[in-house]
Chains A and B, each alone.
Chain A
């Protein structure tokens, strides 16, 4: 009975969703005077940033990114409050299978290059696909590999907090510098440089690096907290 009600309501929902989106159409220009062209041209002419998604995420809609970083911060804070006790001590973590020697050496070999790749991705966020979130996540997966492979590998919790807090403070202080010198939060205060240069886009690169560090620290912290739960 309950399943029947759920199926019927899902059917109604699906019907309306398909109706809406088939009507909207795929691969066509939907609107005539939206903000899309403004974003593209402003990103090219004023900010000199090649990757438009980056310029939207960091500058045009930078407030969203601030909120997003806060969501991750909140998630790791709430996680610590929810899983309140029975934490393993460092190095006492149980592993499903002990890693073989090949996996251990491979992980040791891969770890620096994963971190390097992550750093590359967030430093070049304004030139090529990628950026702070992607790079930060890649670095976090590197730490994840080490945590899974080595039984007694541990990340200093205090050091994670330092990185997290300092990166967050850097983000907001860049915003406040913009507010106090130009009159608007997160406004660009540095010269924008030339298109396709590493030093282009003014503060965008710096903010994305801060975001990268923050995301990496937060995701590593989340994984570390969950992994150290006693079952």
Chain B
């Protein structure tokens, strides 16, 4: 079982970091405004996976007491990162909604989504 845990260690953290890097890459290099916002939301997903993975415990159960398992406290996964991610997901959605509305307004003003044509202020 230890061997699998090592594989999962690399796989989960690695893919979370990869997701973040892909999102950042898209947000930094792409020209389309919608692509940029999409990149930011992928970046968010990566961070959320990272946070949940930190709270995981080997052979753990979900942090919910049900009728039979009041005593199984020591094998429960950490509930705090889950609560934090819950907050972070909702906040991320709020930011995405604001970003999308800004994109729609920029399109209305400039009639394009390409950032190199919108650039009037210095970036």
Which A residues lie at the B interface, using CB under 8 A?
Answer: 2-3, 6-7, 10, 13-14, 17-18, 21-22, 24-30, 35-37, 39-41, 43-44, 50-53, 56-57, 61, 64-65, 68, 71-72, 74-76, 78-79, 82-83, 86, 128-129, 133, 195-196, 215, 222, 225-226, 229
Contact = CB atoms under 8 A, between A and B. Distances in A.
A6 B25 contact: yes
Contacts of A41: 73
A216 to B, nearest CB: 13
A226 B18 CA distance: 32
Interface of B: 5, 8-10, 12-14, 16-18, 20-21, 24-25, 28-29, 50, 53-54, 56-58, 60, 62-67, 70, 73, 76, 78-80, 82-83, 86-87, 90-91, 93-95, 97-98, 100-102, 104-105, 108
- Is chain A's interface secondary structure helix, strand, loop, or mixed overall? helix
A201 to B, nearest CB: 12
29 contacts: A2-B29, A10-B24, A10-B25, A13-B21, A14-B20, A18-B13, A18-B14, A25-B9, A27-B56, A27-B57, A30-B54, A44-B65, A44-B70, A51-B64, A51-B65, A52-B64, A52-B65, A57-B86, A64-B87, A71-B94, A75-B95, A75-B97, A75-B98, A79-B101, A82-B98, A82-B101, A128-B64, A222-B97, A226-B104
- Is chain B's interface secondary structure helix, strand, loop, or mixed overall? helix
A53 B70 CA distance: 15
A65 to B, nearest CB: 7
B55 to A, nearest CB: 9
A52 B50 CA distance: 20
Contacts, number: 140
B50 to A, nearest CB: 7
Contacts of A65: 87
Given A41-B73, A56-B80, A75-B98, A22 B104 contact: no
A68 B93 CA distance: 11
Contacts of B8: 26-27
Contact of B90 (A14, A25, A133, A225): A133
